[in-house]
Amino acid sequence: MGIITLNTNQAIQATTVGLSFADDTIDKTIVDKNYIVNLKATIVANSSIILYVFEKRINGGSWNILNNSITNIFNDVVITSSIYEYRVKGILADNSETVFSNIIILNYTNQVNIKPIAKIASAIFPTGTDVNLEITINTNQIFILDGSFSEDTDGTIIAYNWEVIEEVQNSSYQLLNANTAIANFITSDFGSYVLKLIVTDNNLETDEILITLNVLNISNASFTNFVITANNNCETTFEGAYIIPEGTTGQVTGELLQGFEGSFASFPSGISNNILSGKYPYKIILGNSGIALTPSTYIIAINLSNGKTKSLTLQRTPSNSPNWDSAPC
């Protein structure tokens, strides 16, 4: 530490005035982010000290009062790359002043902060991805939003914030634990929701990522009550409709398990993919004109995009066909 010693018979009542950093050094070169400078003054005087006047200048400019402190310790925060110089003097109880101390020097370079990286984990990306995601879920399903794999290579993440930025109109949803790394989302309303995760590092820089949740209706397909009609030509007709709920699509199959191939008036044979939500009529005719009657079974199966399945079995039997025992009909 640099020390200035005065004779006791001088007008300024002091014996020593010194300044150092808290670790007793007087010259530092620092590369850091938002560095805290810890200053320590040492003044021994013949009169009590009532104030320590700390001053600073930057890059050889003018001296400016940094702080008037009642203690010999003071902290300064530097954020700009520069050469910082510090000095101190004392104000004594008899209103006299000491001379200034030695000058201590800080050569400071501000290290550029590296922003954090927001990541969201999913089944496809179990350790997280920084690419916006789109995921399909069901209504009333608790979906886990996992941002715990977000990272900050030169510091720490101090805050997580989840928010819904797009939602279904008049929807009712819950976003739980929105200020933690792992949150939960649930809704009873199908449609598309966009959520944003914002992460903040210890230098208050942020990054964000989006996840789109396409929420499907978990309702199942349904069938209206079908109507059976029969004629004397060995034919039995089944008419009705199947309903694919809103928010889903369906893959519909029709299969004749036994008996004679019928005709399909309003219902396709084989497979129909991606049927949109709505009500669709069907008309199935089992049996062929003039052919001896045999049992026939036809199954309509619907596999919905929400994972639900529904089927309807249509059976041509003696109970719903006239003249079952006659030949040919």
- For 141-194, the pLDDT digits (tens) are 999 999 999 999 989 999 999 999 999 998 999 999 999 999 999 999 999 999
Q: What pLDDT, in 10s, does the model give residues 185-242? A: 999 999 999 999 999 998 899 999 999 999 999 999 999 988 988 876 677 888 888 9
- pLDDT at 190 (0 to 100): 92
CA–CA separation, 138 and 136 (whole Å) = 7
- pLDDT at 127 (0 to 100): 94
Of 203, 206, 185, 207, which Cα lies nearest the Cα of 195? 185
Of 20, 29, 113, which Cα lies nearest the Cα of 73? 20
CB 297 within 8 A of CB 262: no
Q: What is the pTM of this model?
A: 0.58
- pLDDT at 32 (0 to 100): 84
CB 211 within 8 A of CB 130: no
165 φ, ψ to 5°?
Answer: -105, -15
Q: What is the largest CA-CA distance in the chain?
A: 143
**Structure tokens given for 84:** 């910082």
SS3 266: coil
Peptide bond into 328 cis (omega under 30): yes
Structural domains for the chain = 2-110 (2.60.40.10), 133-216 (2.60.40.10), 222-316 (2.60.40.2410)
Of 129 and 289, the structure prediction assigns the larger pLDDT to: 129
| Pairing verdict, β 270-286 and 227-230 | unpaired
Those residues with Cβ within 8 angstroms of residue 239's Cβ, 6 or more apart along the chain or in another chain: 226, 227, 229, 281, 282, 283, 284
Q: What pLDDT, in 10s, does the model give residues 71-130? A: 999 999 998 899 999 999 999 998 899 999 999 999 999 888 899 999 999 999 999 999
Contacts 24+ apart (CB under 8 A), 66-73: 72/40, 72/41, 72/42, 72/43, 73/22, 73/38, 73/39, 73/40, 73/41
Q: What pLDDT, in 10s, does the model give residues 248-262? A: 888 888 877 765 445
Give the C-alpha distances (Å, rounded to integers) separating 139 from 143, 247, 251. Answer: 10, 10, 20
